[in-house]
Structure 1
């Protein structure tokens, strides 16, 4: 199977992200998940065959599983429900695209962490905090936190997102909305942890995105609890103080960290076949646990 790296549909382009091509349908958007993969804000030259379908199906599982906590933007997942102009592209779109309600996206990434890892671990090692939130002393890599913490970040159009504290987020979107977003993020994370653990995996951390309708209603948008946006660990192999085996993008990050001559700036290095296969196997494993492929 070849990787799908780009799309060209007969619709107005809305935006092209690191992974998703988005098309404008007026009050709705068509989101197509390609097989592109990124790390350290760089898109890799090679894609991961089938990755876009995996992301879409896992996200759709979670949109359905969390609908009782917060409405989401999902309108249709089958090509026969799309506009007629898209029917000739059914083979390309089926399984890797969704039709969604258009919202006004909030300018923040809503990150929830239940374990110490990634950039949070680095900050904790320096200052004993994560995004300015003090944590108990003596925590190790992959330790479970006493309680999940909400650690928002900016949403950079280019370059790196930057971690911010709750007060800064409230300054950007208003105190009342910030509280709604924080509470929704924590509730969604706890639901994710519950269903993931039933499938033998730990949801270490994740990010959510939200948008507003014209009447001010809050909606869950973009992707949710996918292996691109989350850190998933095998529960039976989790051991604080060590790097747990993961079913997400960490395999790619770990490989890239071994490259002495790449400075994490474009152009990204080519991926050898064993890395592409390793990523694909982990994503397929995760998808199978949620009954999707």
Structure 2
């Protein structure tokens, strides 16, 4: 199915810029055609008429939505394996994901980076008169922006959390903190969103609780997780491509957490380095499509890759 047909079916937003560049030759030769270059992955149309695409993860890196000239060798392969594990965990729990069971020819050198994806539309609904898309976030611990809000007496999700709660307070049951999805994520009232999508939210809550328990048994603390929900061509809701991965969740090794070393095993290491180097300010001068030139020590790259490897080893079922 070519990109024109995909757009015609309403399964790809016309606002997202496609590319005419050629992709990996061993894929192009088989009839897979590159049509979108993302910050960390590329998308290919597939031969035939099925509404699906091929996602190919790269080793490229980005933080704060800033594309970087940085690549970490092996990151894309690890991320793909972790994503497959997360999708399997969800499927074993009876939840459909956009990641298809189909796999590409394993003899291809690019195969460990590839996932077939069902083409879907983002879940949308009207909130206060505006049509919005959502990020469904569940948290086991009070930290980050929510902790700051509590300290300042703010209640962005209508949860009535006390200002006396300490950072890294463990909730008896995960809390639900939904936001809109866009250039700026806007907090939404938790109960209102629950009432709008009761089946989806209860399913996601159970999945998050079960996965948190599984991860803890295997030496990883799940701080929080973001779920993105889509609607497929049959009108069914499905989980997106980042399911229980370091791209959608914060994972901390149990030994680090118990030592009160709260650095998550994902891009947080790169984010912290980027803050020190003032990347956000530097990125303001970038032209559209331009990457920020950064110089990242090998030690930082090794720490990031080591984190992904640890997650993969501990959470493989």
TM > 0.5 between the two? yes
Distance 2:43 2:275 in 1: 31
Cα pair 1:128 1:136 within 8 Å, conserved:
no
Equivalent in the alignment of 1:187: 206
Q: Highest CA radius of gyration, 1 or 2?
A: 2
Query: Any residues of structure 2 matched to 1:116-265 within 5 Å, and which?
Result: 116-129=142-155, 131-156=157-182, 159-166=183-190, 176=196, 178-239=197-258, 242-260=260-278, 262-263=280-281, 265=283
Q: Does 1:32 align with 2:68?
A: no
Aligned-residue offset at 1:167: 6.8
Deviates more, 1:210-219 or 1:222-231: 210-219
Deviates more, 1:159-168 or 1:67-76: 159-168
Cα pair 1:200 1:235 within 8 Å, conserved:
yes
Equivalent in the alignment of 2:116: 99
Aligned-residue offset at 1:289: 1.1
Q: Does 1:115 align with 2:150?
A: no
Cα pair 2:159 2:190 within 8 Å, conserved:
no
Aligned-residue offset at 1:13: 4.4
Cα pair 2:152 2:163 within 8 Å, conserved:
no
Aligned-residue offset at 1:184: 2.3
Aligned-residue offset at 1:228: 1.8
Q: Runs of 5+ in structure 1 lacking a partner?
A: 1-5, 82-86
Cα pair 1:131 1:165 within 8 Å, conserved:
yes
Cα pair 2:57 2:113 within 8 Å, conserved:
yes
| Number of residue-to-residue matches in the alignment | 271
Cα pair 2:153 2:163 within 8 Å, conserved:
no
Query: After TM superposition, what 4+ stretches of structure 1 lie above 4 angstroms from structure 2?
Result: 6-9, 167-170
Equivalent in the alignment of 1:56: 80
Deviates more, 1:230-239 or 1:122-131: 122-131
TM-score for both structures, normalised by structure 2: 0.75
Q: 1:243-282 CA distances to partner (integer Å, 9 max, x unpaired)?
A: 5242222211222222257527355433222221221111
Distance 2:281 2:241 in 1: 29
SS in 2 for 1:134: coil
RMSD of equivalent CA atoms? 2.7
SS in 2 for 1:163: coil
Structure with more contact order per residue of length (Cα contacts < 8 Å, sep ≥ 6): 1
Q: Runs of 5+ in structure 2 lacking a partner?
A: 1-21, 124-132, 287-291
